[in-house]
Structure 1
Amino acid sequence: MKNISILGCGWLGKPLAVSFLEDGFSVKGSTTSEEKIDVLEDLGIETYLVDISENEEFDAFLDSDILIIAITSKDIDGFENLIAQIQESSIQKVIFISSTSVYGRINKVMTEEDEVLKNHPLVEIENLFRENTFFETTIIRFAGLFGGNRQPYNWFKNGRKIPQPKGFVNMIHREDCIEIIHEIINQNSWNETFNACSNHHPTRREFYTLAKLSAGFEIPEFEFNAVYEWKIISSDKIQKVLKYEFIHDDLLSF
């Protein structure tokens, strides 16, 4: 299967599309902004205007073998409409990009077997894909994303205090996100749910202090919360199933 559609060619989707083009895939990409069409097409991406909230039909965009969903929308009605259209398309496999925010901070290491937050919209959207039998879906729950112009030293600006300094950092670099998606397709690893997070979990105090100082900022201020809440995301499953080794596994090596 060498035909891929990527819903959402933004911070992750655009370099992901380029990586598949370099591997010889035919790539269709989407954006919600007309201004970005020329930029994406100049990269060799066959580009479509797609907004799942508009309840439109996008048959041409879905004329592929594999669909990768890399948008931040949590519009459940929009996703229901999208899934109905996928059912009528040539799409056989779907990768849905979710988030480890579906896990609560309950002071433990979280695996894919742990309970998720029942009222989280991503949980409902995950289930819409997981329960559909017209195509196969693998769900990737990415931890906090960084890389490119998304750098931790830019977070918590304007004197904002950083909460839970004794809690732990759960993050993944964009290069690892892209490689993991490639491995899922290369290894035909479908009907799975994976956490994807660096194995390194420094404290938030350690991580953000180094991030700020390395960029020339002052030491950040921290908010010492009355209740100590944390979680550590385990990526053991994805490392065992895909034999994946993280490119950026030391979060303090800025």
Structure 2
Amino acid sequence: MIKQQVSILGCGWLGLPLAKHLIKNGWEVKGSTTSLEKIEKLESEGIQAFKIELQEDKIIGEIHSFLENSELLIIDIPPGLRSDPNSNFTAKLKKLSETIPESSIKNILYVSSTGVFQDHESIPTFTEHYKFTQREVANNQLIQAEQLLLTFKKAETSVIRFGGLIGNNRHPVKYLAGKPDIKNPEAPVNLIHLDNCILLILEIIQQGKFGKIFHGVEAVDSTKEEYYTKKAKEFDLQTPEFDHEIISVGKNISMTWTAKELDVGVPKKV
């Protein structure tokens, strides 16, 4: 029996545990990192490791060897737009896409973010089938990156947009604890646990659901202030203080269609 092989571009906080789950399920995994120091760590987990770095005008590393013999490419790299707002993330992905026709890749799963949607005073609900306006596309590289891959003709792409990521000792309440004047106390909470991220990705792969857009968030029936006040107590942290002087902005992310399409139900773990 020939083992299935996947190339995971970005074996970080989510990519590494995802790779380990795929290996347990019988996949051979090629994984990338931008750090030489992490190569040994990846190899110790049974991953064929590569140092790959996307740049706007070139790719540093053995990208063709990284993609060789894989029919599935999972892209899970941070856009880095907060640390470098002037960087062109879309150009980096375009440079990557230029290598696909020479490879065996047939399907792409792109890990995106609910950051494609804007917060608003009306607290809108965004579904998987929301159509972006031309202005929204022009002003948001995250949307541009998605559309580049969704319209790519040489491989069929699915996009999964995750809410804020938690798990493995990572939780935003640790950064908010004790802080004053936190904005948007009435905003909804859109988070997802690492375990549920992996569950959704595995379902997409196993069911062969490509050419679609999915959402990954968990049902949290409380406001930002209620949720983080409760979590601060659970973690035995100082309660954050919220600013009620300015009207809250926010958004609801729906994954109703995703839950139905994958037959998984809306996860609850946060």
Give 1:55's match in structure 2, choosing from 21, 37, 59.
Answer: 59
2: CA distance, partners of 1:32 / 1:216: 36
The aligned counterpart of 2:33 is 31
2: CA distance, partners of 1:197 / 1:102: 14
Which letter does structure 2 place at the counterpart of 1:205?
E
1: CA distance, partners of 2:34 / 2:131: 34
Output the TM-score relative to the length of structure 1. 0.93
Q: Quick check: 1:174 aligned with 2:190?
A: no
Give the SS at the match of 1:61: helix
The aligned counterpart of 1:72 is 78
Identity of aligned residues (%): 35
Q: Quick check: 1:109 aligned with 2:125?
A: yes
Q: 1:143 to 1:152 in 2, by over 3 A?
A: same
Task: Work out whether residues 256 and 266 of structure 2, in 8 Å CA contact, stay in contact via their aligned partners in 1.
Answer: no
Q: 1:215 to 1:199 in 2, by over 3 A?
A: closer
1: CA distance, partners of 2:159 / 2:192: 16
Give the SS at the match of 2:148: helix
Trace 1:21-170 onto structure 2 (pairs within 5 A): 21-53=23-55, 54-56=58-60, 58-63=63-68, 64-73=70-79, 75-106=89-120, 107-116=123-132, 117-118=136-137, 119-156=139-176, 159-170=179-190
Deviations along 1:140-181, one digit per CA (max 9) or x if unpaired, are 011111111211321225735321111110111110110111
Q: Which deviates further from its counterpart, 97-106 or 178-187?
A: 97-106
Q: 1:157 to 1:212 in 2, by over 3 A?
A: closer
Aligned residues: 250
Task: Work out whether residues 103 and 115 of structure 1, in 8 Å CA contact, stay in contact via their aligned partners in 2.
Answer: no
Q: 1:231 to 1:225 in 2, by over 3 A?
A: farther
Structure 2: give runs of 5+ residues left out of the alignment: 81-88
Structure 1: give runs of 5+ residues left out of the alignment: none
Task: Work out whether residues 199 and 234 of structure 1, in 8 Å CA contact, stay in contact via their aligned partners in 2.
Answer: no
Deviations along 1:102-155, one digit per CA (max 9) or x if unpaired, are 111232211122244321111001111011111000000111111112113212
Give the SS at the match of 1:155: helix
Deviations along 1:23-82, one digit per CA (max 9) or x if unpaired, are 010000000000111011001000000001153351010111100011102622211110
2: CA distance, partners of 1:94 / 1:135: 7
Q: 1:228 to 1:48 in 2, by over 3 A?
A: same
Output the TM-score relative to the length of structure 2. 0.88
